[in-house]
């Protein structure tokens, strides 16, 4: 039996001592206010036991981690029709890249870059009367926690400054891959990014992705086959132009966000979540990358 307590204790201390703290994202004004000293770690194993360190209970802006929830809800709702609107190939580009050739054809490379997540939001807006409420309800049901909510100041901050997302949305709109008004679709997108959760809550929300679709309450939220596909997309596309590096260093499917969160999982074994707001130049948490590399190296647990 792996002693997660001992390993996480070592990872936490080593990371604080050795890892560069990176730079907090400044392009979203509300995120720039967060202290760079924060660092939390939480591991949830397949039996439901938790090991946690540091600021693991503090809620942070999960940002692009939420793209997985949007994807899961859209896939659950419309099934394989989803793939006629968005691809499944890694982009090798930054998260907000305007890959003109692809966007001119209207089909973004994958659902975990901004353009792809915007298409997913368009699908959700078409499918549900109140898509924002539906997404929130979905995340609350995955975690069995109704206290989870959007941070409305963060959503407003992005609405006021997210010009590249408007550009991507208008390009796709002009090429026929957005069926709803850009403002409506981006309103959902910005709220999705502004979901606020702790390391512990994110770990619980990803439990079904580690556990063949069943949450900690043993409710089946997604079919096994869909979980397989979402985890594959996380592995190949979850870290933008650092997806290869993350697979190489850590060796787990996962997803990062510019709020400094990273979630990664080993099917049937554990979900692990780190939060430290300082980012590397590719927009991934520096301490998070360091901590997860140490964790899979020390525990000898990865998909490889
Ligand atoms: N809300 C951010 C944006 O759209 C999400 C980016 C991220 O977390 N990588 O730019």
Residue that is last in its domain, among 160, 193, 226: 193
From residue 206, how far is each of 29, 164, 214, 244 by CA, in Å? 28, 29, 10, 22
Indicate whether this model's pTM tops 0.95: yes
Torsional sign, CA 140, 271, 33, 38:
positive
How many domains would you assign to the chain?
Answer: 2
Catalytic residue among 64, 198, 200, 302: 64
pLDDT at position 106 is: 81
d(CA 177, CA 117): 12
pLDDT over threshold 90, residue 2? no
Decide whether any atom of ligand 1 lies within 6 Å of the 165 Cβ.
yes
pLDDT at 198 exceeding the cut of 70: yes
Please indicate, yes or no, if residue 138 is contained in any of the structural domains.
yes
Task: Identify whether 258 is a catalytic site residue.
Answer: yes
Measuring CA to CA, which residue among 31, 248, 69 is closest to residue 155? 31
Out of 64, 196, 277, 280, give the residue to mutate to test ligand 1, the one with the largest number of ligand atoms within 8 Å of its CB. 64
Q: Residue 101: pLDDT above 60? A: no
pLDDT (mean) for 193-205 = 98
Decide if 244 is inside a domain: yes
Pair 107, 254 in one domain: no
- The answer on 279 and 262 residing in a single domain is yes
Q: Is residue 293 part of a domain?
A: yes
Residue to mutate, 28, 29, 195, ligand 1, most ligand atoms under 8 Å from C-beta: 28
Q: Which domain holds residue 54?
A: 4-60+198-216+237-299
Q: Determine if residue 189 is labeled as part of a ligand binding site.
A: yes
Identify whether 227 is part of a domain.
no
User: Cα separation of 67 and 82, whole Å?
Assistant: 14
- 156 and 274 share one domain: no
Which of 126, 158, 193 is the last residue before a domain boundary?
Answer: 193
At residue 92, the pLDDT reads 78
Confidence of residue 264 (pLDDT cuts 50, 70, 90): very high
Whether 16 is in a domain gets the answer yes
106 and 34 inside one domain: no
24 and 110 share a domain?
A: no
179 among annotated binding-site residues = no
- Catalytic status, residue 64: yes
Quick check: is 228 in a domain? no
Least confident stretch, 36-45, 104-113, 209-218: 104-113
The 10s digit of each residue's pLDDT in 149-186 is 999 999 999 999 999 999 999 989 999 999 999 999 99
Domain of 208: which CATH number?
3.40.710.10
Kindly state the average pLDDT of the residues 195-205.
98
Do 100 and 144 belong together in one domain?
A: yes
Query: What is the ipTM metric for this complex?
Result: 0.96
Q: Is the same domain home to 94 and 209?
A: no
- CA–centroid distance, 252 to ligand 1, in Å, is 21
Annotated catalytic residue within 12, 53, 240, 290: 240
The answer to whether residues 159 and 211 belong to one domain is no
Instruction: Say whether 189 is catalytic.
Output: yes
Please state the rounded mean pLDDT for residues 30-54. 96
Q: Is 116 in the pocket of ligand 1 (CB under 6 A)?
A: no
End-to-end alpha carbon distance in the chain: 18
Please, which residues have CB within 8 angstroms of residue 82's CB and are 6 or more apart in sequence?
74, 75, 111, 120, 123
Q: Indicate which residue of 12, 53, 189, 290 is catalytic.
A: 189
Ligand 1 centroid to Cα of residue 114, in Å, is 7
Last residue of a domain, one of 162, 193, 224: 193
C-beta of 283 in contact with ligand 1 (< 6 A) = yes
The reply to whether 135 and 180 lie within a common domain is yes
Residues 82 and 181 in one domain: yes
145, pLDDT greater than 90: yes
294 shares a domain with 246: yes
Is 223 inside any structural domain? no
Dihedral pair phi/psi, residue 278, rounded to 5°:
-70, 130
Q: Does residue 257 line the site of ligand 1, with CB under 6 A?
A: yes
Do 41 and 95 lie in one domain? The reply is: no
Domain for residue 225, yes or no?
no
> Rounded to the nearest whole angstrom, what is the distance from the C-alpha of residue 137 to the centroid of ligand 1?
21
Q: Is the CB of 207 under 6 A from ligand 1?
A: no
């Amino acid at each position: 039996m792996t002693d997660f307590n001992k390993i996480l204790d070592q990872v936490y201390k080593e990371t604080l001592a050795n890892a560069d703290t990176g730079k907090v994202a400044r392009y979203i004004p509300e995120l720039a206010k967060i202290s760079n000293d924060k660092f939390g770690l939480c591991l949830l194993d397949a039996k439901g036991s938790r090991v946690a360190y540091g600021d693991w209970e503090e809620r942070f802006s999960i940002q692009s981690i939420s793209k997985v929830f949007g994807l899961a809800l859209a896939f659950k709702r419309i099934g394989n029709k989803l793939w006629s609107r968005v691809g499944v190939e890694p982009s090798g580009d930054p998260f907000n890249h305007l890959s003109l050739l692809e966007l001119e054809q209207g089909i973004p490379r994958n659902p975990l870059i901004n353009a792809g997540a915007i298409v997913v939001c368009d699908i959700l807006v078409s499918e549900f009367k109140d898509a924002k409420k539906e997404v929130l309800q979905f995340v609350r049901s995955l975690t069995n926690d109704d206290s989870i909510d959007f941070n409305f100041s963060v959503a407003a901050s992005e609405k006021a400054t997210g010009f590249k997302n408007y550009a991507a949305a208008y390009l796709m709109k002009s090429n026929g891959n957005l069926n709803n008004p850009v403002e409506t679709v981006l309103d959902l997108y910005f709220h999705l990014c502004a979901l606020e959760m702790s390391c512990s809550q994110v770990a619980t929300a990803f439990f079904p992705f580690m556990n063949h679709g069943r949450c900690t309450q043993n409710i089946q939220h997604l079919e096994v086959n869909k979980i397989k596909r979402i985890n594959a997309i996380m592995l190949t596309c979850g870290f933008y132009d650092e997806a290869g590096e993350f697979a190489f260093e850590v060796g787990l499917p996962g997803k990062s966000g510019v709020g400094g969160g990273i979630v990664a999982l080993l099917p049937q074994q554990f979900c692990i979540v780190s939060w430290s707001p300082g980012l590397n130049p590719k927009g991934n948490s520096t301490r998070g990358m360091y901590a997860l590399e140490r964790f899979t190296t020390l525990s000898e647990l990865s998909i490889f």
